[in-house]
Structure 1
Amino acid sequence: MPRPYVLLSVATSIDGHIDDTSTERLLLSNSEDFDRVDQVRAESDAILIGAGTMRADNPRLLVNSEERRAARVAAGKPAYPLKVTVSGSGDLDRGLKFWHHGGDKVAYTTDDGYEKLSERLRGLADVVSLGPTVDFGAMLDDLGRRGIERLMVEGGGQIHTAFLSQGLADEIHLAIAPLVVGDGDAPRFLHPAEYPGGSTRRMRLAEATTVGDVVLLRYLPKQESQA
């Protein structure tokens, strides 16, 4: 089966941060952009976040619009996309909201994390080992076998870095908020890594638009800039 189309979705500050270092989550998007993200979720077959994002934000990760859920059902799809996470250690709490809302869930882990996570998530999620280490290509192969054609990846930075540096991302939705974090310890969209083509390769910009006071840039990282 073909691998799913992978879309990375992220909101950052002007200086590239996805959060600050306070105990409260930094809201980078505005109401219009949150609604846009909800639409992208509704158009996806699966949504993925990493274990770090789950622990930090404890999101439910749902399609919030009742109309969009109804449209999915009318099209023969489940009301909610498949919810996906990945944890190399398998150290994920059973009480996180992710497991108790929405539809089906799958958790990818390693051989070392499999036994622990399978026990913790019994009855809540399908747990799959990717081998000795987290193999993102193998994960996409498994999602393809599950019929997933479009995967939305919502972070965090380690997950986005893995997909982009390994050449596995087909599209990036980069929403830039009109604020500056200014804290070197705050988490960023991407971590240091070797990216395909290096620093001289220019990705194709497919779209640039404003969503309220946020600028949305849509990049196609597998395609070269036409400039």
Structure 2
Amino acid sequence: MRPYVLSSVAVSIDGYIDDTSPDRLLLSNAADFDRVDEERAGCDAILIGAETMRRDNPHLLVNSPERRSSRVARGQSEFPLKITVTRSGKLDPALRFWHCGGAKLVYTTDAGAVVARESVGSLATVHALGSAIDFGSLLDDLGARGVRRLMVEGGGQMHTEFLSAGLVDEIQLAIAPLVVGNEGAPRFLHPANYPGGPTHRMHLEEVVQVGDVVVLRYLPTPTQRD
């Protein structure tokens, strides 16, 4: 069985997930970061793209000791499985992702697997998906590994791949009260053929104010997920 897929993202009012400066733009506030930490604690795995790893160099952890303890009490690992996706297999073993938390998993192509195993093969499980990356096959493999809830945290290419393939069950969109406006800054979604096209309307399940951030929770309709 494929895992439930939660797409979690923070954006500016004009739809950007970062600016063009070398430092990561913090869109969320402290309370929203804590909300995301709670969501992570409830997931079996967290996924980011290799470009997000290179750009942000995140730890990608459950930060709350109490939440980690609760996971262990439920029979889960202390930290969710950390996943990255790369076509080329070019991964920097010095990044924080590899040196904290629990198990790590790399999805890549047949050619990328050769490269990835040379750089991070001692730090992670490397799984080749064939000549290209099929995200449905990726979810099938995660289901076989016992992952029941997957949190996709970025970046824009990963959100685009999952959503355009109709593989997202829920979107949590945190909107920050600022405007980026930088030409070339990364956006939440890239151009793609999304299921149902521009006339398709998702179901707005919930709206929550978290300080100066508003979190919109959307549930895609059955036309977007078999």
* TM-score bracket for the superposition, by shorter chain length: over 0.9
Partner in structure 2 of residue 40 of structure 1: 39
Partner in structure 2 of residue 143 of structure 1: 142
Paired residues, what number?
223
Partner in structure 1 of residue 205 of structure 2: 206
Alignment check: 8 A CA contact 1:167 1:222 kept: no
**Separation in 1, partners of 2:116, 2:22:** 27
TM-score, normalised via structure 2 length: 0.97
Render the CA deviation track for 1:20-70: whole Å, top value 9, x for unaligned: 001111000000000000000000000000000000000010000000000
Query: Aligned to 1:154, what secondary structure does the other structure show?
Result: strand
- Offset of 1:223 from its aligned partner? 4.7
- What are the residue-to-residue correspondences of 1:68-217 with 2, within 5 Å? 68-217=67-216
- Offset of 1:121 from its aligned partner? 1.3
**Separation in 1, partners of 2:129, 2:19:** 32
Partner in structure 1 of residue 14 of structure 2: 15
Query: Aligned to 2:137, what secondary structure does the other structure show?
Result: helix
Render the CA deviation track for 1:94-142: whole Å, top value 9, x for unaligned: 1111011000010000011111111211221000001001111111011
**Separation in 2, partners of 1:24, 1:106:** 26
**Separation in 1, partners of 2:15, 2:222:** 22
Alignment check: 8 A CA contact 1:169 1:222 kept: no
- Offset of 1:184 from its aligned partner? 2.6
- Offset of 1:216 from its aligned partner? 0.2
- Identity across aligned pairs (percent)? 66
**Separation in 2, partners of 1:23, 1:222:** 38
**Separation in 1, partners of 2:66, 2:118:** 36
Alignment check: 8 A CA contact 1:7 1:171 kept: yes
Q: Structure 2: 5+ residue runs without aligned partners? A: none
**Separation in 1, partners of 2:140, 2:127:** 12
**Separation in 1, partners of 2:189, 2:151:** 16
- Offset of 1:194 from its aligned partner? 0.4
- Offset of 1:209 from its aligned partner? 1.0
4+ aligned runs moved over 6 Å, structure 1: none
Amino acid at match of 2:65: E
TM-score, normalised via structure 1 length: 0.97
**Separation in 1, partners of 2:170, 2:163:** 10
Amino acid at match of 2:26: L
**Separation in 2, partners of 1:84, 1:101:** 13
Amino acid at match of 1:79: E
**Separation in 2, partners of 1:186, 1:122:** 32
Partner in structure 1 of residue 27 of structure 2: 28
Partner in structure 2 of residue 63 of structure 1: 62
**Separation in 2, partners of 1:194, 1:31:** 35
Q: Structure 1: 5+ residue runs without aligned partners? A: none
